[in-house]
């Protein structure tokens, strides 16, 4: 397929590379041009502007936050006005419910196809093509995107015809991950106070009660205090927890654990940990327990 890929951060660059390797014709754009040019060796075409990446069947956008998505879609030279009549815009960014609804309405008014397809997985999973994709939108559009999803992920979950449904699921999922990180951080602080080896504790937990990858992966980072290089930087984690709280506020859904995790993430930001992985909550819990 002819694919435009906008946004080449830690996730996007390896995802675009996988599409190139799978034989798709990929045009890439990134604000920092060097990240796009790094894909020339893989056969990608580098666009000078987001609009130049729009002359394709499918345009994938994977940007860091609402502000970046709004600028690319609605800003001066935005892609919405440049989409071909037969094109599909696939937004894989983790964005607010409010923006997801605005994007849906705007594409409908412009008579352009729109699919929301955020992903679960860290950069290593993206590089291996092992992401989990949560897709929502018009059924025909999702079917047309399947060759792309098959390259990027190990499984695609279609969750309905309303694109916002995928965003709600992504936000709630990241809230759950943050909650797991927080609870692991507190538990590790407790066992360390009793001079129990963190790695032995992790091996016991993940071999018995908590064998899910999220416990193994984040538990390992906390046990080793391995918060850099960041697979998912602290500010992005804080952004996602704030998205969950905003979604809760919009529907009068209390999320008290999210409020607690948000506060601890803010503490980590105040301590200057913004370049570290969001599992640095483990350091905050240790510090609160007088361990560091």
> CB 80: neighbour CB atoms within 10 A?
18
Q: How far apart are the first and last CA of the chain?
A: 52
Q: Count helices and strands (H / E) in the chain.
A: 12, 9
Catalytic residue from among 21, 67, 130, 170: 170
21 is catalytic: no
Peptide bond between residue 133 and the one before it cis (omega within 30 degrees of 0): no
Kindly provide the residue ranges of all beta strands, DSSP E only, lying in the chain, ordered along the sequence: 2-6, 25-29, 45-46, 58-61, 88-91, 113-116, 119-120, 131-137, 153-158
Q: How far is CA 164 from the centre of its chain?
A: 15
In sequence order, what are the beta bridge partners of 114? 89
Contacts 24+ apart (CB under 8 A), 107-110: 107/80, 110/80, 110/81, 110/83
Question: Do 167 and 159 form a contact (C-beta atoms < 8 A)?
Answer: no
Question: Do 64 and 91 form a contact (C-beta atoms < 8 A)?
Answer: no
Catalytic residues: 170
């Amino acid at each position: 397929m002819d694919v435009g890929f906008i946004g080449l951060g830690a996730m996007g660059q390896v995802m675009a590379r996988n599409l190139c390797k799978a034989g798709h014709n990929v045009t890439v754009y990134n604000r920092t041009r060097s990240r796009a040019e790094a894909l020339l060796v893989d056969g990608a075409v580098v666009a000078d502007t987001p609009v130049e990446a729009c002359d394709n069947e499918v345009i994938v956008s994977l940007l860091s936050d609402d502000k970046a998505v709004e600028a690319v879609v609605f800003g001066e030279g935005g892609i919405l006005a440049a989409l071909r009549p037969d094109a599909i815009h696939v937004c894989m960014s983790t964005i607010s419910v409010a923006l997801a609804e605005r994007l849906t309405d705007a594409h409908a008014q412009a008579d352009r196809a729109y699919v929301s397809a955020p992903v679960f997985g860290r950069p290593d999973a993206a590089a291996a093509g092992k992401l989990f994709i949560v897709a929502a939108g018009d059924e025909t559009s999702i079917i047309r995107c399947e060759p792309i999803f098959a390259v990027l992920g190990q499984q695609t979950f279609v969750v309905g015809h309303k694109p916002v449904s995928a965003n709600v699921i992504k936000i709630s999922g990241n809230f759950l991950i943050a909650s797991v990180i927080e609870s692991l951080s507190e538990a590790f602080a407790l066992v360390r106070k009793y001079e129990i080896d963190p790695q032995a504790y992790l091996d016991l937990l993940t071999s018995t009660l908590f064998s899910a990858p999220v416990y193994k992966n984040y538990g390992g980072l906390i046990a080793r205090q391995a918060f850099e290089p960041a697979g998912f930087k602290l500010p992005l984690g804080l952004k996602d927890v704030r998205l969950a709280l905003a979604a809760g506020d919009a529907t009068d859904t209390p999320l008290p654990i999210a409020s607690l995790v948000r506060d601890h993430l803010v503490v980590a930001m105040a301590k200057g940990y913004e370049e570290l992985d969001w599992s640095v909550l483990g350091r905050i819990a240790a510090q609160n327990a007088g361990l560091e």
